[in-house]
Amino acid sequence: MQAKLVRIGLLGCGNVGAPLVHMLREEGAAIAARTGLELAVTRIAVRSAHRDRDLPDLPDGTLTTDARAVAADPEVDLVVELIGGIEPARELVLSALANAKPVVTGNKELLANHGAELFAAAEAAGRDLLFEAAVGGGIPVVRAVRESLLGEPVGRIMGIVNGTTNYILSQMTDGGASYADALADAQGKGYAERDPTADVEGFDAGAKIAILASIAFGARIVAGDVYHEGISAITAADIAFARSLGYVIKLLAITERIDAAGPNPTVAVRVHPAMVPVTHPLAAVRDSFNAVFIEGSSVGELMLYGRGAGGRPTASAVLGDILDAAGNLVRGAATPLGSFGPAAICPIDELRSAYYLNLEVSDRPGVLAQVAGAFAERGVSIRSMEQEGLGDEARLVFITHEAREADVQATLHTLRQLDSVRHIRSLLRVIG
Amino acid sequence: MQAKLVRIGLLGCGNVGAPLVHMLREEGAAIAARTGLELAVTRIAVRSAHRDRDLPDLPDGTLTTDARAVAADPEVDLVVELIGGIEPARELVLSALANAKPVVTGNKELLANHGAELFAAAEAAGRDLLFEAAVGGGIPVVRAVRESLLGEPVGRIMGIVNGTTNYILSQMTDGGASYADALADAQGKGYAERDPTADVEGFDAGAKIAILASIAFGARIVAGDVYHEGISAITAADIAFARSLGYVIKLLAITERIDAAGPNPTVAVRVHPAMVPVTHPLAAVRDSFNAVFIEGSSVGELMLYGRGAGGRPTASAVLGDILDAAGNLVRGAATPLGSFGPAAICPIDELRSAYYLNLEVSDRPGVLAQVAGAFAERGVSIRSMEQEGLGDEARLVFITHEAREADVQATLHTLRQLDSVRHIRSLLRVIG
């Protein structure tokens, strides 16, 4: 079989691009033997042509600083966008599609903000736009949701999709570290940026769950639709209480369908720390690993687990997409993205969840009755309570039955106004 | 958008077929809205037209007992084979492909024995042959391996791919049941057949790992290539020893590539109980759940977890394949299976593994030296040993460093001939 040449233009050649070039070199013969595709990286757009890169020998003229020229080059068949960020990535992806080139990207920010525009451009061009690497690094979750579960009525997706925060929480849980020490450790190991905001406040996870929500529900859901709470307020005490109650604390990115089936779904989409039962498969996801847990009414429970970041795992996901897009291109086909309708976003106030609440109160008769009264007033039912003495104070730890977020917030408001309540230490949602 | 009609002929309408018909009915409108495909089950071949079935109302003439007529019917566009077994399923699948109809099947036995013939027929017809449901029920592992990991140098796959045996071992581990009681419980719940041989002796898992090995390594590997050991000899004492050493016992289906990259791989493929460290993600797979753990040199560690059996989860996998095949058919495309070359199968004697060995010996001076000498004679290095008294006997529990299977078997042979060795209670491979 004569292998069919597919010429790849690579935009960006850093942490993911460089291992991708190596993989294509190392695996090229095996890939050609199995698929009949000869994949050649013929153009690489970089920011500076003079920086040293860990790359194999490349023909002269492969490297360029003109990304626009690569996206439009008639001698490039397929474009891989690994620049990240919104501009110029957006413009370059649109240009490649307009020039009838399939595009593979790992750009979560771009997809979570401009997905609908890009999907429409791909559909109009009749070319693939594939983005496995945008969510969960090497974990094939995008393909599972886009293809395997296309006919499945997905009810909820819960993901540990940020390795940095999972590493920090694992260090706090397994190593007893404080948040500050665990963050410093993560920064020392290169897992966290010097400014860790995007990770620890849940923005990175938010972009990823917006993408998963879009493809799971066939709806236009963007990063701005996602409610966020980060992990910076989680204390060693919260972790210890969670453990004593049979839970671990994880930063979860969650999307769920609130209404019954039908077009134009009502969807909740949020990122926050949550108490996860130790027996739940997500509880065993440690260190910087990622996992996505999917609940469908037919398929039941599914979980996909693996390396959510890192150059080689992410390059592996990009390579899977390149093979798919290159094969389709050679056959003159494309995998359609399907239609994306509008979605109604359920406000966080309407969330129904169980809650964990940790209060410090005066240790005197009648206080528990007063606190319990504040719950009762808002119809928030208490599932369990533990009390421990703290000198002249006491700590009350509650887990509620499922309640409406707005009612729990109103309960908190009442509690704050009681003289006997000294501090509200924490409020965490509990996964059932 | 005018939906494109794809007429489905269903061969077999039992445990998986009936929920599939319901799902197509329930989700048909949502699927048409997202994909532009109108999926209609127009013919259903059953063994007896008179048996009551849990099916929605169907037009007269939908049910037939003539499966051959459905596979060849010019008014059927796509065939779903859910009969199981080798004949007549093989003949029907070949007939459908010869009639240019894509085929979706969940038939592990057929694929594990006649995969190469069927793949060649699909390739010749230019039509899809999809089989997600054949391995791991609702878990999208076939698609992950066939598509996402097509360019990934997969090193090893370890699967818990038989729910019956995982249920039995979970009952023994978590509930302290004996093998006989756990098997009876599984039979009572409908997880195990009256004759449980195919499950407990590893034949079902063997067919599944042969399929995964074929698609992971692009090689012709059949059920007959798989080495089998079942779980019927596992005792409550083995489970307890494993626990005390930090392991759980799981029935694993394993395939690994022994040689370096290149065509015509050397592959090991086997099913046997193994000791899995409690911290390994596979150790947390309980009850009748399945999981497949994949190691690749770029992607690192991946695990896919979910419902490995059951009508609705399996029907969900079939539906995902139907959507893929129907979409391809409408676009005049097919996802190629790639080439499958010959493979050399590594004999079990050449396996390199760590081993757990449990011996009962006479409790007198010099016995340990004698036993240790038997290991040393074959170059099998001991990593840890524990001794406990049993009246006038002692129990010796060894874990070895990685050793060759043939050397460990030769050590056993020597041990059996020592007067001081009363019983060799068990030998289990240990996952590192």
How many angstroms separate the CA of residue B144 from the nearest CA in chain A?
6
Q: Which of A72, A332, A261 is CA-nearest to residue B331?
A: A332
| Contact call for A338 and B153, based on CB within 8 A | no
pLDDT of residue B262: 67
pLDDT of residue A262: 67
Which residue of B146, B148, B319 to mutate against A (max A Cβ within 10 Å)? B148
pLDDT of residue A79: 98
Which residue of B295, B316, B321, B329 to mutate against A (max A Cβ within 10 Å)? B316
Which tokens belong to A158? 């819960």
How many angstroms separate the CA of residue A279 from the nearest CA in chain B?
8
pLDDT of residue A175: 86
Q: Is the peptide bond before A19 cis (omega within 30 degrees of 0)?
A: no
Phi/psi of residue B264, each to 5°? 55, 65
Nearest beta carbon to residue B147 from set A23, A152, A324: A324
Q: Which residues does chain B have within 8 Å of residue A153's beta carbon, measured at their own beta carbons?
A: 26-27, 30
| Contact call for B323 and A263, based on CB within 8 A | no
Q: Which residues does chain A have within 8 Å of residue B307's beta carbon, measured at their own beta carbons?
A: 299-302
Which one from B101, B108, B208, B250 is the annotated catalytic residue? B208
| pLDDT score of B153 more than 60 | yes
Average pLDDT, stretch B337-360? Answer: 93
Which tokens belong to A276? 């996860």
How many angstroms separate the CA of residue B6 from the nearest CA in chain A?
15
Confidence band for B259, pLDDT divided at 50, 70 and 90: confident
Nearest beta carbon to residue A143 from set B36, B147, B298: B147
| Contact call for B305 and A281, based on CB within 8 A | yes
Q: In sequence order, which residues have a C-beta less than 8 Å from that of residue A240 and are 6 or more positions away?
A: none
Q: How many CB pairs under 8 A join A and B?
A: 206
Angle (CA) A74-A79-A84 rounded to 5° is 135
**Chain-centroid distance, C-alpha A231:** 15
DSSP letter assigned to residue B380: P
How far apart, in whole angstroms, are the C-alpha atoms of residue A357 and residue A374? 13
Query: pLDDT over 90 for what percent of chain B?
Result: 86
Confidence band for B60, pLDDT divided at 50, 70 and 90: confident
**Cβ(A249)–Cβ(A428) under 8 Å?**
yes
pLDDT of residue B329: 95
Q: Which one has a higher pLDDT value, A319 or B338? A: A319
Mean of pLDDT over chain B: 94
Taking CA–CA distances from B22, the nearest residue in chain A reads A298
pLDDT of residue A120: 95
Residues in chain A with pLDDT < 70? 1, 52, 261-262
Give the pLDDT confidence of B77-108 residue by residue, as tens digits.
999 999 999 999 999 999 999 999 999 999 99
* Sign of torsion over alpha carbons A272, A277, A278, A282: negative
| Contact call for B26 and A261, based on CB within 8 A | yes
Confidence band for B321, pLDDT divided at 50, 70 and 90: very high
Q: Which of A16, A255, A271 is CA-nearest to residue A133?
A: A16
**Cβ(B270)–Cβ(B226) under 8 Å?**
yes
Q: Please give the C-alpha separations between residue A232 and each of A181, A187, A192, in angstroms, as whole numbers.
A: 12, 14, 13
Average pLDDT, stretch B107-133? Answer: 96
Annotated catalytic residues of A are: 208
| Contact call for A323 and B261, based on CB within 8 A | no
A97 residue type, one letter: L
Confidence band for B3, pLDDT divided at 50, 70 and 90: confident
pLDDT of residue B54: 81
**Cβ(B396)–Cβ(B359) under 8 Å?**
yes
Average pLDDT, stretch B322-349? Answer: 92
**Chain-centroid distance, C-alpha A79:** 24
How far apart, in whole angstroms, are the C-alpha atoms of residue A13 and residue B186? 54
pLDDT of residue A261: 67
pLDDT of residue B1: 55
Average pLDDT, stretch B407-432? Answer: 94
Q: Which residues does chain A have within 8 Å of residue B336's beta carbon, measured at their own beta carbons?
A: 35-36, 327
Q: Which of B424, B404, B397 is CA-nearest to residue B412?
A: B424
| Contact call for A315 and B333, based on CB within 8 A | no
How far apart, in whole angstroms, are the C-alpha atoms of residue B35 and residue A104? 21
Confidence band for B185, pLDDT divided at 50, 70 and 90: very high
How far apart, in whole angstroms, are the C-alpha atoms of residue A80 and residue A318? 8
SS3 B308: coil
Burial class (CB in 10 A: 0-12, 13-18, 19+), B47: exposed
| pLDDT score of B392 more than 90 | no
Phi/psi of residue B361, each to 5°? -130, 165
pLDDT of residue B388: 87
Confidence band for B261, pLDDT divided at 50, 70 and 90: low
| pLDDT score of B254 more than 70 | yes
Pure H helices in B66-194 = 67-72, 89-98, 108-125, 141-143, 163-174, 179-188
* Torsion of Cα atoms, A340 then A342 then A348 then A354, to 10°: -50
